[in-house]
Structures are given as C-alpha cells and as structure tokens.
Amino acid sequence: MKNSTALKLGQLPKGYLIVGVDAHKKSHVAVVMDENALVLRKVRFANSKSGFEEMLERVRGEASKAGSGGVIFAIEAGSHYWRNLAYFLDRERVPFRLISPYTLKRRREGEDLNRRKNDFRDAEMAAELLRTGKFTESRLLYGLYAEIRAAFGTYRRLRKESTMHINTLKGLLDAVFPEFTEVFKDPCGKTAMAVLLSSPIPHIIAETEASELIESVRANFSGKGLKSKKILGLHAVASSSIGIREGAEAVSEEIALLVERIKLNSEQMKRLVENIARLVDMIPESRHMLSVPGLSYISVAGIIAGLGPISQYKNGRQLVKMAGTNPTQRESAGKSSRHTPMSKHGRADLRWCLWPAVVSLLRYNPDFKSWVENRQNRKAQAHPLHRREVIGAGINRLLRLIFALARKQVYYQLPREQTVTA
C-alpha cells in the first residue's frame, strides 16, 4: 500500500520544472528548479496581471530552453496574497500545489544552521517541498461555493465584532453602574439599550422621577413591549449604586456609541443571514444536510464554506482531516497517553462552526443524543468519554454522515427505534 507521500509524488508530471513562489503584497518572487533540485532561474515580479503574465512567459521560456514538458508551481500559502496568483494560474490551466507555511519554516530552519531567511530562500524551499511530495492538495472554489465562503467569513467577523462590543459594554457597566446587569440580565435587550441611550449614570437616574425616566426611555425605544417594571426596578437600585462617578459622563458617551454599534451590527447580521440562507438553498448538498434535525442554515453554510463541494472528497475521513478533528496519537518510549486530542491541523473556521452545530445536535437530535449517552455511560474498561471528548467524536460522526448523505443523495432518517419513541 502506498503512503500519502508516494501518492502525492505520483501526481507530479514527469520532466516538469518546479516553480517555487513566495507571495507578498506588492511583489512576488519565484525560483525555477528542475527535478534534480538544480536552481535554474530566480525571478521577481509584480503582484499584477502584467506581472503574472511576464513571469509566466519567462518561466515557460526557461522550460523550453531546458527541454522540459511544462511547469508546475509550488506556492507558499501564507496570508492571503497567494490567492490572486492561484486563480490566475488556474484560469491559465497551469498546475500548482500549495505549501504549508508551517512546514516550510520548519524545513528551512532544520536545513540551515545559520537560520538565514529571505524571499528567494523561501521560494526555493517551497519548490523543494513540492519536489519531495510535501504539499497540500487544495482546490479553488468557484460559483456558489466561493460566494458562500466569502459570506460566511463576513458572518464570522461580524460575530466576533459583536462579541467584542458586548464585552466592552459589560466592562464599562461594571464600573459605572454594576447593578444594571442585576436588573437587566441581557444589556443588549431593546429596553436595556433604550435605558443606556437615555442615561447609564445611576445618580442621574436616581434624581429623575420614575415617570420622567420611563418617558425618556420610551423616546429611545423602538418596537413593542417596553418593560416598565424593570425600569422602575432600575430606578429603585440606582440610589444605592456603588458605581464610580468620576469620569461617568465620558463613559456614558462611550456606552451610547457602543449601543449604536451593536444595533447596527444586529441589522447587518440579520441582512447577512438572509443572504446566507438564500445561498444555502441554491447549493445541491444543502437539502440533504438540512434534513438532519438540529442543523441550522448557519451551521450548514459554515460546513459548506469550510469543505467546499463534497463531491471532491473520496471518503469521510478526508472531511475529518480537513476539519482537524482527527484524534492524534501521543506515544514515546513505548508509553502512550490515554487521551487522543484533536490534531487541529485543519481549518479553524470549520471547527468554529462544527462545535456549536454538534452541541445543537446533542440537544435536539434523539439519534445523536442516545449515541452520546452510550459513550458516556459505558464501562470503565471501555474508556467512557467526557463532555468535550464526546463533542469531538460527535463532530467526526457528523462529518461522516454529511459525506454519506451527499454522496448517496439521500435524506437523513432517524433510526426506527428513535422514530417510535419520539
């Protein structure tokens, strides 16, 4: 049986020159190498269409001079600057493979005792890694898959931004009005934000009449269901607040700005989720994935964005490896650890989406729920899994299930026992 390196080496065309590329913002560098690791040429070219075309012409000229059948590129996939070149090469039908920056760094430092580093050295090392089969098989996304990956990336950034604003708001309230979150458990509720826009300073709230406070809050409130009782409760605790008065006016201005940002972020998120749902409905695999009880549109969008077309995978294990949730063995001197943690060498965005998706499945899907209970409650000699371990195992089970549904083009059905007891 061939190992993965042997299979990768079999993909390299015989007699082709290898072009290692180190990509940057304004210009890239390329090193042309033959099959015997002999460096034939070094090229620096601009990060533009004319620069790409000139580089490709020079590289092809070098291949013609050497009597080579063609060229294959090895691109270091650091940052995002490699993407423009990769799409250009793909349109020109020029083969390329991606090189992991982590692998390149370790290989370079292992070979050079003086730890020298420059752009041409990195490009040369990328070509060397491709020559020895240490590359990443990756395909570029087009059409709906590219759209949904970009949309989900925006969604994730908005979520992070929203979380940052909410945590900052809670931190400011802890200083100026610590009792606020005792009355309003969620400071981002409609009534709570209307109060914060009116005034978050406790001594000002205490000096205002209760009826005037309610009217002031109502002026900043949109929608129905103003919680007057909570406003009165806030008015009652404001007189005994331990909030800091020094600098409270400036803090209140910052709180008002944060509330406006949170509102804007919420509106943008709502519009983006509608767009993501529309894209998900247009993707063929989505209807099979949405048939799994507990999987939402956002979860399906994140999985598709991280994996791309399911048809490009040969088995479910490849999906698990792409997510980086495959168990990793730890063994030395004949001793091995009882636990096998995730490798986390896959896509972090995909794991970020899969973890809450499986938590939802464990809550709403009876099949997954019973599956988890069996692994948590089994005998000690069978190594029962604790909560975090079982979620990781659930992620792998979900990925294998998604592969099976998409490949067979069938819809999910609960086991008969689950259907009867539900």
pLDDT at 421: 45
pLDDT at 10: 84
Dist CA 238 CA 59 (whole Å): 74
pLDDT at 129: 94
pLDDT at 111: 81
For 334, the 3-state DSSP assignment is coil
Question: Could you tell me where the beta strands, DSSP code E, fall in 47-189?
Answer: 71-76, 96-99
The position carrying tokens 């894209």 is: 279
Q: What angle do CA 94, 103, 133 make, to 5 degrees?
A: 50
312 neighbors 306 (Cβ within 8 angstroms)? no
What is the Cα gyration radius of the chain? 28
Would you call 206 exposed, middle or buried from its count of C-beta atoms within 10 A (0-12, 13-18, 19+)?
middle
Question: Tens-digit pLDDT profile for the chain (422 aa)?
Answer: 467 788 888 888 888 999 999 999 999 999 999 988 899 999 999 999 999 999 999 999 999 999 988 999 999 998 899 999 999 999 999 999 999 998 898 888 888 777 778 889 999 999 999 999 988 877 899 999 999 999 999 999 999 999 999 999 999 999 999 999 999 999 999 999 999 999 899 999 999 999 999 999 999 888 788 899 999 999 999 999 999 999 999 999 999 999 999 999 999 999 999 999 999 999 999 999 999 999 999 999 999 999 999 999 999 999 999 999 988 777 766 666 666 778 888 889 999 999 999 999 999 999 998 988 888 888 877 778 887 888 989 999 999 999 999 999 999 987 765 554 44
Q: What angle do CA 159, 161, 164 make, to 5 degrees?
A: 110
Read off the tokens for 413. Answer: 């059905």
pLDDT at 420: 40
**Phi/psi-derived region of residue 70, left when phi > 0, alpha when psi is between -120 and 50, beta in every other case:** left
Dist CA 398 CA 53 (whole Å): 44
pLDDT at 93: 94
pLDDT at 24: 93
Dist CA 83 CA 364 (whole Å): 39
List of domains in the chain: 13-140 (3.30.420.10), 146-277 (1.10.287.4070), 283-327+341-421 (no CATH)
Cβ-Cβ contacts under 8 Å for 202 (sequence gap 6 or more): 176, 177, 179, 237, 238, 239, 241, 243
pLDDT at 1: 44
pLDDT at 379: 82
